[in-house]
Structure 1
Amino acid sequence: MLSLEKSLRIALVCLHTSPGTDPGAGDAGGMNVVVRHQAEGLAALGHEVSILTRRSAVDQPASMQLAPGVTLHFLDAGPAAALPKGEHEQWIDEFSARLAAFEPFDIVHSHHWFSGMAALPVARQWGIPHVQSFHSIAADDSTPLSAGERAESPGRMVGEAKLARESDSLVAISAAEAATITGRLGGHVDRTAVVLPGVDSAAFSPARPTGRADAGSLGYVLVAARLQPLKGLDLAIAAVAAIPAGIRPTLVIAGAASADHNGYVDELRELADRVGLTEQLRLVGARPRDNLAGLFRGARLVLVPSHSETYGLVALEGAASGVPVIAAASGGLREAVVDGVTGLVLESREPQVWADAIAGILTDAQRAERLSVAARAHALRLDWNRSAASLLTVYRRVLTTDTRRRKSSLGETGRRQHRRAVA
């Protein structure tokens, strides 16, 4: 049987985006944060973790250490340059070949469908389990945008369904995502596990009493996201513009446009001009994590107006910072924000509804303080060590469950490789 004490060699595959990149830049977002922090947590538990991503710049080394026990590898697949997200599909096979050149790991965990399509055949070749996380799941173009992301490349919807059927375990970041995996993609309930994310509550922490604007100051509200239509930034701009001028805060948007949305910043500026928010809109670009934490800390509110989120890590980071969050009632945001306790979850996407909700908190200091205190307490219950330990439980379960089946189906070469994960 599998030894529960055995140190594992774990591969985390992130083909299209590097967990070493600051969130908000290019295609780096919540997935990058989750992978990096879970990797560090797994390493702290005594395991050897390799993160494998595509080389996107010529000056990237073959590998680098992100943290003790965590190595980031850059694999050559396609040009050594940043690419629009949808173009990564054509480099799946080349990335897969580069991955296959590594010594077999004990378990492979793929993040996003590009990674899964590259890693699943390699895991089968090695005779080891394949675990899949999606982080976002495509919706057909005929459905409303709020139902999910668009399939930015041709094979995505078919690929996601294949991975849901054939992977040994499916890890969702929220109950909402788990329901989409089983309902839309056909993933088996018994192979689907929810592993909640965590938050660094030391880095994302409340301001000192003098560090944040008081109730009498206009201050600013914050959106932190990649600049793309899915994130609903147009709603944030229209909503803040609809707040009466005497109490209207500045809107700060932290994040950068990905390669396939280069014109979106101009669209946001044009919208701000039309609705009269030009002087109170600050587009500050992608920020390093410590700088971003400072922006959270100083905000009066955090807004998450996304059309679709599997969880909404930004909402949890806002909560850890002691800042009330107003979020769209979309996917996992219903779980990340406790409606009426740590913030508000709004069913409507009407700007005036959002404007009234924002103004209602900004003008009620006692309510804002109650939400702030509850938000911080909620975040403190979720940390990355707990998240990593939950993920390790999934790995151990799939390794133990699949041992007998795999041993009977592998050839002698596969058996020798498989013994590395068996005591």
Structure 2
Amino acid sequence: MSTTTEPLRIGLVSLHTSPGDEPGSGEVGGMNVVVRHQAEALADRGHQVEIITRRSSPTQPDSVSLVPGVCLRFLSAGPAQPVPKGEHDAFIEPFRAGLEELGPYDVLHSHHWFSGVAALPVARERGIPHVQSFHSIAAESDTPLSEGERPESAGRPAGERMLARESDAVVVVSSAEAATVRTRLGGDESRTWIVPPGVDGSVFRPAGAGARRAETPYVVAAARVQPLKGLDLAIEAVGGIGREARPTLVIAGDASSEAGDYVDELRRLAAAHGIADRVTFVGPQSRADLAFLFRGAAAVLVPSHSETYGLVALEGSASGVPVVAAAAGGLREAVVDGETGVVLESRDPGDWAAEIERILTDDTYAAGLAAAGREHAERLSWERSAAGLEDVYRRVLGRS
């Protein structure tokens, strides 16, 4: 679908992680999926899109075409190798210098605070709008951290406050994130726009009629393997289900660079609950492989301590699978409690075990959640998400 108005030249800035990389590996997560799919959908609407990221390998070229209308550019800033996420603030200045040589653009849209601090001055020098998306927002130094939430460098809260207040627009994915921008960062509500992500319903789709299920039912938790994602709760919940109904838990995702020995901790936890043989780590999955995994699952679990939205929950719903999610941030919006899945305020493993077991043993209940979830996901396409972004861009450009 193409836009009928003047096409835009859009720069999407993603300093610390490349949207061209496979989600689930290292630091590659939902942000990468959102940036990549929104870029492609914007190109489908007739715009020219460049995604700018840091070179993390000496073999990466200066640029590569992802699809017609979308170019991925690599800038040299710091060593040409993977670097832990928390160290990327050291690369902001050299990345900014490289960004100054690119373009021209009608608008720069930064993803995460590293990108924004690098790109905002470039946008100001050129007299073009700067749009900021955070994807995650640091707690203030005097704010108690959620369980599993890591303290951030001293510069991040100040950088995020500056970006929230000085960018021409802040794009968030949920009402929960909008509230955080307003209350924690002092962002102006009139310049904060909610643009939910989408889902590719042709990739994440239900299993066909008569499709064979696995002999032993399984549930899936797909996330970077780090404490913030609450995978310990998923293990404890499965361990609390009676042996006859107990499913296998499949954990899909790579260990975060800052996770230490968390994978070993999870393995020890599974052994302590007597379910070491029922917890399988399958590592990062391609989009197609993850969709296949979801289609065969009895449920998708999202036990995160914090999520701005919870894209995995939407992908689970699109796959025609009930979702059991924590009542954390945007997950309350990604999952319609009691309709497309279950949103749990409790982090008691017994409560989670009871909800999972009900899905496993009550076919009518599970089928109702699955059908409603698919219907909900079908209303949230990437084209719709890109149309929302385009509206924001045109408004800050004064062309709406």
Q: TM-score interval w.r.t. the shorter chain?
A: over 0.9
1:240 aligns with 2:245: no
Q: 1:76 to 1:205 in 2, by over 3 A?
A: same
| Partner residue in 2 for 1:47 | 47
1:190 aligns with 2:190: yes
| Partner residue in 1 for 2:171 | 171
* Within-5 A mapping of 1:24-423: 24-140=24-140, 143-146=143-146, 149-213=149-213, 218-400=216-398
Q: 1:148 to 1:271 in 2, by over 3 A?
A: closer
Shift of residue 187, structure 1, vs aligned partner: 0.4
User: How high is the TM-score relative to the length of structure 1?
Assistant: 0.91
* SS of equivalent residue, structure 1 residue 138: coil
Question: Does the 8 Å contact 1:141/1:150 carry over to 2?
Answer: no
Shift of residue 151, structure 1, vs aligned partner: 4.2
Question: Does the 8 Å contact 2:148/2:227 carry over to 1?
Answer: no
Q: 1:172 to 1:203 in 2, by over 3 A?
A: same
Q: 1:4 to 1:162 in 2, by over 3 A?
A: farther
* SS of equivalent residue, structure 1 residue 12: strand
Shift of residue 182, structure 1, vs aligned partner: 0.9
The 1-side partners of 2:259 and 2:397 are apart by 40
Q: 1:77 to 1:177 in 2, by over 3 A?
A: same
Following TM superposition, the consecutive aligned residue runs of length 4 or more in structure 1 with deviations greater than 3 angstroms are: 140-152
Amino acid at match of 2:87: E
- Provide structure 2 residue ranges, at least 5 long, that are not aligned to the other structure: none
Shift of residue 107, structure 1, vs aligned partner: 0.2
Amino acid at match of 2:339: V
* SS of equivalent residue, structure 1 residue 150: coil
Shift of residue 275, structure 1, vs aligned partner: 1.5
* SS of equivalent residue, structure 2 residue 58: coil
Q: 1:337 to 1:370 in 2, by over 3 A?
A: same
Shift of residue 261, structure 1, vs aligned partner: 1.6
The 2-side partners of 1:148 and 1:390 are apart by 32
Shift of residue 164, structure 1, vs aligned partner: 0.4
Shift of residue 376, structure 1, vs aligned partner: 0.4
Shift of residue 102, structure 1, vs aligned partner: 1.2
Shift of residue 401, structure 1, vs aligned partner: 7.5
Amino acid at match of 2:337: D
Q: Which has the higher helix share?
A: 1
Query: What do residues 104-133 of structure 1 show as CA deviations (whole Å, max 9, x unaligned)?
Result: 311000000010001011111111100000
The 1-side partners of 2:107 and 2:72 are apart by 16
Q: 1:148 to 1:137 in 2, by over 3 A?
A: farther
Shift of residue 250, structure 1, vs aligned partner: 0.1
Q: 1:377 to 1:138 in 2, by over 3 A?
A: same
Aligned residues: 398
| Partner residue in 2 for 1:21 | 21
The 1-side partners of 2:335 and 2:144 are apart by 23
The 2-side partners of 1:170 and 1:140 are apart by 19
- Provide structure 1 residue ranges, at least 5 long, that are not aligned to the other structure: 403-423
The 2-side partners of 1:267 and 1:140 are apart by 28
* SS of equivalent residue, structure 2 residue 258: helix
Shift of residue 272, structure 1, vs aligned partner: 1.1
Identical counterparts, % of pairs: 62
Query: What do residues 132-157 of structure 1 show as CA deviations (whole Å, max 9, x unaligned)?
Result: 00001111355444489534333111
Question: Does the 8 Å contact 1:82/1:259 carry over to 2?
Answer: no
Shift of residue 260, structure 1, vs aligned partner: 1.6
Question: Does the 8 Å contact 1:149/1:230 carry over to 2?
Answer: yes
Q: 1:362 to 1:145 in 2, by over 3 A?
A: farther
Question: Does the 8 Å contact 2:298/2:359 carry over to 1?
Answer: no
Task: Tell me: higher relative CO, structure 1 or 2? Use CA pairs within 8 A at least 6 residues apart.
Answer: 1
Question: Does the 8 Å contact 1:145/1:230 carry over to 2?
Answer: no
Shift of residue 212, structure 1, vs aligned partner: 4.8
Which structure's CA Rg is the greater one? 1
| Partner residue in 2 for 1:405 | none
Q: 1:246 to 1:144 in 2, by over 3 A?
A: farther
* SS of equivalent residue, structure 1 residue 260: coil
Q: 1:248 to 1:143 in 2, by over 3 A?
A: farther
